[in-house]
Structure 1
Amino acid sequence: MKRTFQSFVIYTLVLALALTSFGTASLANQTNTPLAEIMGEIDTKSSAPTTVIVELEEESIVEAKHKGKNQTKQNLKAKRDQVKNNVLKETASSKIGQEYEYIFSGFAVELKGNEIPNLLTIPGVKAIYPDVKYKTTTIDEGFMIEEDAYSPAMLDSAPHIGSNDAWDAGFTGEGVTVAVIDTGVDYTHPDLAHAFGDYKGWDFVDNNDDPQETPPGDPRGRQTNHGTHVAGTVAANGLIKGVAPDATLLGYRVLGPGGSGTTENVVAGIERAVQDGADVMNLSLGNSLNNPDWATSIALDWAMAEGVVAVTSNGNSGPNNWTVGSPGTSREAISVGATRLPYEVYSADISTGSDQEFDSAKVMGFSTVEELLALDGEEFEFVYAGLGAPSDFNNLDVDGKIALIVRGEYPFVEKAENAKAAGAVGAIIFNNVDGAMPEVPGMAVPTIMLSNADGVAMREGVKDGFNTVSFSIEFDKMVGETVADFSSRGPVMDTWMIKPDVSAPGVNITSTVPTHQADNPHGYAALQGTSMAAPHVAGAAALILEANPNWGVDAVKASLMNTAENLYDANGNLYPHNTQGAGSIRVLDAIETKTLITPGSHSFGVFDADGELTTERQHFTINNLSNERKSYSFDVSFEKGSEAIKVNTSNNLRVQPNRSQKVNFTVEVDASKLAPGYYPGTIVVSEGSNSYEVPTILFVQEPDYPRITSLAYNLNPATGNLVGSAYVPGGAEELEFEVYNENLTAFIGHAFTDTNIGAGYYDFTWDLTIDGGTLAPGKYRLVAWSTKAGKTNYSFGDVFTVE
């Protein structure tokens, strides 16, 4: 049946990776031989070369150790070589890449896609993972800050989380090593040089010991600055002062030109960092795959087991739930959401002297309050500058004027930068479509935003002689720390875990960037994204480990979660746990806490509505770090469903000094009385005047996850068929495919429907027939609608062309 897009807003859509899938179920029906499992989207029908990650049944050195088994490098190498030899025999085109043995057991191999099924019956192969693409989790290119424009007022984020209080207490990260697994690091930057020794780390892109950023002019792609920005937030000590300014840094270049890379190098970087003795590692990178069992997440879990605090960004696909991506989905690693620091809200009214009213006018952003208020009560000439590109300002006189710019093509911050460079004292940016635009902190010039209709009216008003604009700017209110709209939300599919674990500042963060100019090495830029939030937590972990060198990774993670501060939106509403995690970190509170509650969050899993009362038992551990006996009490509440959810635990618990004690508790759920969905709650542990909150969650019947999260396909030139796959995490009662035009604005017709789909990847081949006829030449998109348990979601693929 035809469906209509009521509101097709880009940020609400799921981005499908440009890969196709091989479903193990179809092969399993053809043989009784036990098969390795394929985890992910892999095109096994193509003869083009591709890379996959092979996981061995033989356990890695770290995994074996933690399971009480004896594993040696020699034994593991022999097992790996045996599998590699069989791979080379069974696949004519294969070429072995990175090999792993310490925290992940396996290797990368390049081969033709249609040879991948040959791997599945090779003895010793446990699973095959796609070599998925990872990219930096930054939402725009930000803007450069000149050295002479540097101001301490830009550096609010480290003090906000209490870093300066930790410094005053004597903790600066000294003696703690932090690995930055990223695009490389400019270790020559004056603010970072102190943190590097002779050994800088490793470059997995070019395979050498020089993990420098991609410079300008690299023929393979754009220059990078991301890893240097991350490193500065962790440990800069110059004009910029990071969270842990005396920490030691190691750089691992796993993302190359343009800031992208793949699983092969990311896993290698994690393994190398652990072996090099890192105490903390930061991965401000990710993809859109909400699954806990990708190779990268497994590697991080074992890195944590080995005692390395792993910190990852949660992703920038918010504000919808279920948008967290790997490796933020890792069970053990600390996943970090992004917040915006407290800010002042100003209202804006504008007038051009015509009868036109511009009711949509709002402040988009500004660099200083003084510059914004300088517009108040003043009249300026405005000039239309198109998209706001540098070339759009050629032959335009905007000196001392306002630049009127339309949204599109370039980031908002870049438009404002270009306006400032041309001499404008302010900008008005109007939408190019219906709908709202985001607030963007840190704009280079004070910027007002308008709707499409108001912006077009203002531009057209020049023809009637209305080419000046007057401003009325007034203070509205103060807003506290809030979660950034772009920050990805949980929970995680399959494990049903709450993510992120914690939040930290990630909007308009000023830090170091390379200049690649020896005579001008002081580079700084303001960036935003969960990439910027994660290194605040990595730096905080370094401070915590310096203060508490005997703490394990669980204690570090729990200290940050237990002492985090709750966050509220601009209207004063408490954010859900899947939005903020345990809250915004506070470093000194984490260092000085006398109570640790592990784990820092709980998921009770899924309860079926079978008409029976279901009981689940779990526990957490309280560690009394003080020198006196403490008495703890407990209170558990759920935001909804309290009539059918009952939690039983101890009323009071006494824990002796410097001892830990397990707290058992049970949850009884009558799911028949509850609507399907998830039910968040909070365990409050109280001791005297101190209280600690532990986020918790449970699910009833089919969890409220997206019924489909990706759709990818390619036209097979030999057959003319469209070959692809869709990922349906929990299966589907009905999976319907329809054809739209390339802009998704017109329904073309019905392609095909399938029913009773199992969980995982659904492979298909479509012969381009539509409603009984042949699809006419043109450009189209396929849209898949997946339905299960009364809920329907859609995903769409790339444009394909029918000749």
Structure 2
Amino acid sequence: MKISLLFRKLSVITLAFGLTVGAIPGVTSASGSSQFKLTNPPNSISLNTVHSNETFISPQIDTSTSDKIRVIVQLEGLPAAVGQYAAKMGMRSLASLSSESAVQDEQQEVLNEASDQGLNLQVNYTYNTVLNGFEVTIPANEISNLAEIPGVKSIQKNSTWYALPIESSSTGDNYEINPLKQIGADQAWAKDLTGAGLKIGVIDTGVDFNHPDIKDAYKGGYDSYYNDSDPSEEPPILPEDDEIGHGVGYEGTYHGTHVAGTIIGRAVNTESEIVQKGVAYDADLYAYKVLGREKEDPTRTSGSSAQIIDGIERAVKDGMDVINLSLGSDSVKDVNSPESVAINNAVLSGVVTVVANGNAGPGYFTMGSPAGAQLAIAVGAVTSESNHYSGQLQSTLEEAAPVATATDATYDFNLMGWETANANFLDIMGTDPLDVVYVGLGDNDDYTEKDVAGKVVLASRGTLAFVDKIAIAKKNGAKAIVIFNGGANGSEADLSESIVGKDDYINVSLGDSFSFIPTFDLKGTEGRALVRALIAYPDQTLKFTFPDDYAVSTIPGDYLASFSSWGPNADNNLSIKPDFTAPGENILSTYPKFDSPTYETSYERLSGTSMAAPHVAGLALLIKQLHPDWAPLDIRAALANTADVITDQDGDLYDVYQQGAGRVNVANAIITPALLESVEPITILDANYNPLDVINYNSSANFGVVAPNAGVQGKELQLKNTSNTEVTYTASIEWHQEHDGINATLDNSIISAAAGQTTSFNLNLEVANAEQDNMFEGQINLESPGLPALHLPFVIYVATEQPSNGFGIQEVQVTNSVVYPNRAS
């Protein structure tokens, strides 16, 4: 797969579910090829690594102005989470240097010095667990003086995070089972693994903790946005009641409630025909609200880096077993952003941290922060199995013989959308002729002086979103809406005989929603011909007769979602991210009540990697329940090793930067007696600038850039036996594409590990004359009769220098608490 990349660095940080973009200009893909070529785009900046003992001041900060700004100040000492990790590893000196009291003493010294210097500084948030520092308000022209205070290591902009939801997006069970079966959750439940006794922290927009499927699970949390103990979702505001936005109104928030339901939904709502059953439905829920209504643009939802870090900090202190961050940046790509540092330190403290990989796909290098945090679990999205409906309707234009051939006919249709839990279209539509009313483009004005109650409305595609056309038809009492393909000429529908690209079906599936009525998709040529006949004979009545049978076709799942962001990660190793994928398209889950008097219809479908991440957070809880002593990196490895490698519609493998290790399947993860991990040195620095090595037990092996004839490149792997009996596997190397010029070997083809022990072995790659500026990938396979097979993906980039990617300078060493890969090799 060959790529020419041209990226622009953007300043807005967006919620992971909220940004969908089309294909990036200049990015081309050949489905199934697991190889891509990176060429230097014009005016791009190469990836670099910068090290400095000087205090780092973000170049995004203008220090020439006296305007007050909010910044994140990081200090030299390690946060308490690193101390907790050091204590577990027996590093007593480091543990004492990074205790909470040591961190607080250092912070007070810095603040005292700032006061002595007369700096106009106001502390808004303080952190001592996952970050050592604080968020402050200070005149920008005093930042240079703040940077000179001993102990200050970095000063970075407090970024803004926005929530821009992907459009709502099909099954009819009491609760939706397909995604849960897809990831093996039902098989874990059969072994009594339900998340009981464990805590999940959802760091998001808050939660509707009165929702019947949520309230019994909800145990507490915090609102880091408004700094109070009530992490509720924010209700919608009508324009006439909107004082903050001067009459613009606000749609309210819902994202955290949707995420929470996927993880812990208790399936007990007696007010509704459907309920939400979460992956770990017996776990306890804690909500940390970090996003709320933005004051500068009151139509949007946002939060700051400070608020997100505060949410992470509080979740760690509250003893969460797993935290979920369905948020991120598709444009900011920095493995050492303050949020990423906080996440890495949360993992070091023992908290499994799951992050959405982003929605900027398709295209390489489209993932962003903080999914790039090296110790986190980054999750991409795949589709799930769904049902599609189709049939034939008959049309008749009464007493209009001259146009009978155009209107007295049978037309094929597809169902575009329908009401949740109400797919019995025969009962809804019947088989008697129904009056049809043409409503142009389906806007509000198109219904003026038209009686559509109990009738079918016929509308053209164009101007309005489909969901808006459906909502307006429903508001006016229509039984159903038929939308034909087409476009608009100003405020009127284009009724031309032929319109390029719009003569066939619309081919859009909205699935189901409580806000929908039956919505039919008609070919453009046929729908426009019907309307032309109606216009020619305005006194006649058009009738549709719907069938007594609707064909159902099952669309298979496990295809990569079009929006899911791809790797590599923005580090010098071109590391594999996402780690794996999970269901994330058209996911049904809990929704805040808002305007409804009951919770009867408080469910909605959403799409995004934000919907994939909570599936994995739930699985992590199930594994943690089975193996309470497993570290976060072991849980990541179990899910990756046993994931199902997936292919596209042509049967070709998605590459590792698209799917990671594959689509998770906990059914195998909970019965594997061993884990396959790569051993990656991670370097942190203590308060005295002494490097200390920590091991990142990774679920992939990343060789980074290797020049031809550079010699043998070795990666240490390990088989970790977590059972009480010896295990033996046959090891092999599987390449995902042609790899001429690269030789690969393993130390041994038979790998054994005694009970509770670990065996190390090496993957050795030697590049001779392989084509340069190309990425090659494969996987290590371990197989043993009667046991789940294990696999670990690897990548190597054959070149003499890092690829240009438009990220700008990355991996700036901004604080001693930054965790970054050892780049000595």
* 2:579 corresponds to 1:501: yes
* CA positional deviation for 1:134: 2.3
* Structure 1 residue aligned with 2:657: 578
Of 148, 159, 169, the match for 2:191: 169
Q: Provide closer, same or farther for how the CA distance between residues 605 and 461 of structure 1 changes in structure 2, counting only shifts above 3 A.
A: farther
Give the Cα–Cα distance (whole angstroms) in 1 for the partners of residues 586 and 661 of structure 2. 22
Of 646, 659, 668, the match for 2:743: 646
Is contact 1:344–1:477 with CA below 8 Å preserved after alignment? yes
Amino acid aligned to 1:134: W
* Structure 2 residue aligned with 1:110: 137
* Structure 1 residue aligned with 2:684: none
* CA positional deviation for 1:182: 0.9
Structure 1 segment 704-743 matched on structure 2, within 5 A:
707-708=805-806, 728=808
Amino acid aligned to 1:482: Y
* 2:675 corresponds to 1:675: no
TM-score under structure 1 normalisation?
0.75
* Structure 2 residue aligned with 1:716: none
* CA positional deviation for 1:332: 1.3
1:382-441: per-residue Cα shift (whole Å, max 9, x none)?
65556655665554444432442434554x445434434442424426476987975433
Q: Provide closer, same or farther for how the CA distance between residues 606 and 517 of structure 1 changes in structure 2, counting only shifts above 3 A.
A: closer
* Structure 1 residue aligned with 2:213: 191
Q: Provide closer, same or farther for how the CA distance between residues 531 and 730 of structure 1 changes in structure 2, counting only shifts above 3 A.
A: closer
What SS is found at the alignment partner of 1:683? strand
Is contact 1:366–1:441 with CA below 8 Å preserved after alignment? yes
- Of 70-79 and 697-706, deviating more is 697-706
* 2:174 corresponds to 1:158: no
Is contact 2:701–2:792 with CA below 8 Å preserved after alignment? no
1:558-605: per-residue Cα shift (whole Å, max 9, x none)?
111122222233333322222222222222322222221124532434
* Structure 2 residue aligned with 1:662: 760
Structure 1 segment 140-539 matched on structure 2, within 5 A:
140-141=167-168, 151-152=173-174, 154-197=176-219, 200-217=220-237, 221-237=250-266, 238=268, 239-257=275-293, 258-288=300-330, 289-344=332-387, 354=406, 364-365=416-417, 370-371=424-425, 383=437, 385=439, 388=442, 393=447, 395-398=449-452, 399-408=454-463, 410=465, 412-421=466-475, 422-428=477-483, 430=485, 439-442=509-512, 444-445=516-517, 447=519, 463-464=535-536, 478-494=555-571, 495-516=573-594, 520-522=598-600, 523-539=602-618
* 2:608 corresponds to 1:554: no
Q: Provide closer, same or farther for how the CA distance between residues 34 and 234 of structure 1 changes in structure 2, counting only shifts above 3 A.
A: closer
Q: Provide closer, same or farther for how the CA distance between residues 518 and 405 of structure 1 changes in structure 2, counting only shifts above 3 A.
A: closer
TM-score under structure 2 normalisation?
0.73
What SS is found at the alignment partner of 2:789? strand
* CA positional deviation for 1:379: 8.4
* Structure 2 residue aligned with 1:72: 99
What SS is found at the alignment partner of 1:11? coil
Give the Cα–Cα distance (whole angstroms) in 2 for the partners of residues 574 and 45 of structure 1. 53
Give the Cα–Cα distance (whole angstroms) in 2 for the partners of residues 337 and 347 of structure 1. 31
* Structure 1 residue aligned with 2:23: 12
* CA positional deviation for 1:158: 2.4
The percentage of counterpart residues that share the same residue type is 31
Q: Provide closer, same or farther for how the CA distance between residues 318 and 369 of structure 1 changes in structure 2, counting only shifts above 3 A.
A: farther
Q: Provide closer, same or farther for how the CA distance between residues 631 and 759 of structure 1 changes in structure 2, counting only shifts above 3 A.
A: closer
> Structure 2: any 5+ residue segments left out of the alignment?
1-5, 7-19, 26-44, 245-249, 269-274, 294-299, 396-404, 489-499, 678-696, 815-825
Give the Cα–Cα distance (whole angstroms) in 2 for the partners of residues 677 and 346 of structure 1. 44
* 2:153 corresponds to 1:126: yes
Amino acid aligned to 1:216: P
* CA positional deviation for 1:641: 4.6
Structure 1 segment 674-693 matched on structure 2, within 5 A:
674-688=771-785, 690-693=788-791
* CA positional deviation for 1:679: 2.0
Give the Cα–Cα distance (whole angstroms) in 1 for the partners of residues 618 and 636 of structure 2. 13
Q: Provide closer, same or farther for how the CA distance between residues 618 and 461 of structure 1 changes in structure 2, counting only shifts above 3 A.
A: farther
Give the Cα–Cα distance (whole angstroms) in 2 for the partners of residues 578 and 366 of structure 1. 35
Give the Cα–Cα distance (whole angstroms) in 1 for the partners of residues 676 and 715 of structure 2. 14
Give the Cα–Cα distance (whole angstroms) in 2 for the partners of residues 532 and 38 of structure 1. 35
Quote the RMSD (CA, aligned, Å).
4.2
Give the Cα–Cα distance (whole angstroms) in 1 for the partners of residues 355 and 772 of structure 2. 33
Q: Provide closer, same or farther for how the CA distance between residues 340 and 705 of structure 1 changes in structure 2, counting only shifts above 3 A.
A: farther
Give the Cα–Cα distance (whole angstroms) in 2 for the partners of residues 360 and 292 of structure 1. 52
* CA positional deviation for 1:174: 0.9
Give the Cα–Cα distance (whole angstroms) in 1 for the partners of residues 712 and 430 of structure 2. 62
Is contact 1:365–1:441 with CA below 8 Å preserved after alignment? yes
* CA positional deviation for 1:267: 0.5
Give the Cα–Cα distance (whole angstroms) in 2 for the partners of residues 153 and 241 of structure 1. 6
Amino acid aligned to 1:400: K
Give the Cα–Cα distance (whole angstroms) in 2 for the partners of residues 627 and 93 of structure 1. 61
Give the Cα–Cα distance (whole angstroms) in 2 for the partners of residues 420 and 229 of structure 1. 25
What SS is found at the alignment partner of 1:269? helix
Structure 1 segment 740-779 matched on structure 2, within 5 A:
none
Give the Cα–Cα distance (whole angstroms) in 2 for the partners of residues 219 and 358 of structure 1. 53
Q: Provide closer, same or farther for how the CA distance between residues 614 and 372 of structure 1 changes in structure 2, counting only shifts above 3 A.
A: farther
1:465-509: per-residue Cα shift (whole Å, max 9, x none)?
597789998666642332221122212112422121122222222
Of 596, 600, 604, the match for 2:675: 596
Amino acid aligned to 2:258: H
Q: Provide closer, same or farther for how the CA distance between residues 222 and 659 of structure 1 changes in structure 2, counting only shifts above 3 A.
A: same
Is contact 1:173–1:244 with CA below 8 Å preserved after alignment? yes
Is contact 2:775–2:796 with CA below 8 Å preserved after alignment? yes
* Structure 2 residue aligned with 1:624: 721
Give the Cα–Cα distance (whole angstroms) in 2 for the partners of residues 453 and 524 of structure 1. 36
What SS is found at the alignment partner of 1:428? strand
What SS is found at the alignment partner of 1:544? helix
Is contact 2:439–2:457 with CA below 8 Å preserved after alignment? no
* Structure 1 residue aligned with 2:29: none
Give the Cα–Cα distance (whole angstroms) in 1 for the partners of residues 413 and 145 of structure 2. 61
Is contact 1:607–1:614 with CA below 8 Å preserved after alignment? no
What SS is found at the alignment partner of 1:310? strand
Amino acid aligned to 2:283: A
Is contact 1:482–1:570 with CA below 8 Å preserved after alignment? yes
Q: Provide closer, same or farther for how the CA distance between residues 115 and 402 of structure 1 changes in structure 2, counting only shifts above 3 A.
A: farther
Is contact 1:39–1:128 with CA below 8 Å preserved after alignment? yes
Q: Provide closer, same or farther for how the CA distance between residues 626 and 72 of structure 1 changes in structure 2, counting only shifts above 3 A.
A: closer
What SS is found at the alignment partner of 1:96? strand
